[in-house]
């Protein structure tokens, strides 16, 4: 029998990879035969975390049906964010903290979704509920995922449960939470060596909203000017991506992790709903979004309300 593949969303962030590693390990301890894989290579932040805790990055795949007929999903459920042939296999389980959309299965499954800041916070609960000990390295990558998804507890998606989980995992991982957290987040802000296309694809997801197909990418930085000095290059790459993939709009959210603000770059039409969603006016295709750091809570719901309302 083939292994059950466990993976997060396309363009994986630290939670997509960390939760897959942790959940696959838990399932193996419970008697399943699972392998954590990834729908993309780790970004620099995630690689920093993997290296810190001595973990090997999961192998990268883009399709699953040739390898297995059974999968488990973490940190996503929407099929357009998953493996290309996800509809051709059986989804045995989902552990997620996002909205539920564009998802259905032919068979019953285990589904665990909670409104917390990070999937790994939920996976920690599953370890405890099943009375399975958490290895140091697994604790470290789960901690890294929580730090990443909550921007070291600055994101409005962060809950008390995430903070409590992070503190517990930091003890097991034997790291100083605040020191390690800032070092890891800074590791993910090295943007200068990347092409515009690579920047756009670092952490990007597609969302059908009404009749529109919207692509939303996000990059973390400690210098917004460094990002927007490349605006012309970014806009050209966004247009290329839209033409190749059929997106109506491409939004890039550049987030300053130190000041907890973001700046928005928009390419495509219509832009009026974007302005309405954020109560702003685009100037030179850009808008400053004070206090906005979370795509899940401060970007997607606002756009969805306007485009589908």
Which residues are annotated binding-site positions for Mn(2+)?
Answer: 9, 13, 15, 75, 97, 149
Q: Which helix (H) or strand (E) holds 208?
A: strand 204-209
Q: Rounded to 5 degrees, what are φ and ψ at 135?
A: -65, 155
Report d(CA 132, CA 134) in Å as an integer.
6
Burial 140-164 (b: 16+ CB within 10 A, else e): bbbbbbbbbbbbbbbbbbbbebbbe
Burial 66-105 (b: 16+ CB within 10 A, else e): eebebbbbbbbbbbbbbbeebeebebbbbbbbbbeeebee
Q: Residue ranges for the binding site?
A: 9, 13, 15, 75, 97, 149
Report d(CA 68, CA 189) in Å as an integer.
36
* Residue partners of 67: CB distance under 8 A and separation at least 6: 2, 3, 5, 61
Q: Which helix (H) or strand (E) holds 204?
A: strand 204-209
């Amino acid at each position: 029998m083939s292994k059950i593949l466990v993976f997060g969303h396309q363009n994986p962030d630290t939670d997509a990879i960390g939760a897959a590693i942790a959940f696959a390990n838990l399932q193996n301890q419970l008697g399943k035969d699972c392998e954590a894989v990834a729908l993309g290579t780790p970004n620099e932040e995630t690689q920093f975390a993997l290296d810190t805790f001595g973990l090997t990055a999961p192998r990268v795949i883009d399709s699953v049906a040739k390898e297995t007929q059974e999968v488990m999903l973490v940190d996503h459920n929407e099929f357009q964010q998953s493996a290309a042939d996800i509809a051709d296999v059986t989804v045995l389980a989902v552990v997620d903290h996002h909205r539920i959309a564009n998802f259905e299965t032919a068979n019953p499954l285990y589904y665990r979704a909670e409104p917390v800041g990070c999937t790994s916070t939920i996976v920690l609960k599953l370890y405890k509920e099943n009375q399975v000990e958490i290895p140091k390295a697994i604790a470290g990558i789960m901690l890294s995922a929580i730090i990443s998804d909550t921007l070291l507890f600055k994101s409005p998606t962060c809950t008390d449960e995430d903070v409590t989980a992070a503190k517990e995992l930091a003890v097991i991982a034997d790291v100083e939470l605040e020191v390690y957290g800032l070092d890891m987040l800074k590791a993910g802000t090295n943007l200068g060596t990347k092409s515009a296309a690579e920047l756009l694809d670092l952490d990007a997801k597609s969302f059908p909203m009404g009749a529109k197909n919207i692509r939303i990418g996000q990059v973390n930085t400690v210098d917004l000017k460094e990002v927007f000095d490349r605006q012309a290059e970014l806009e050209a790459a966004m247009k290329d991506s839209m033409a190749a993939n059929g997106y109506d709009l491409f939004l890039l959210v550049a987030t300053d992790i130190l000041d907890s603000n973001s700046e928005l770059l928009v390419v495509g039409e219509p832009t009026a709903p974007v302005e309405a969603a954020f109560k702003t006016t685009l100037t030179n295709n850009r808008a400053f979004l004070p206090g906005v750091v979370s795509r899940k809570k401060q970007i997607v719901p606002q756009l969805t309300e306007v485009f589908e309302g």
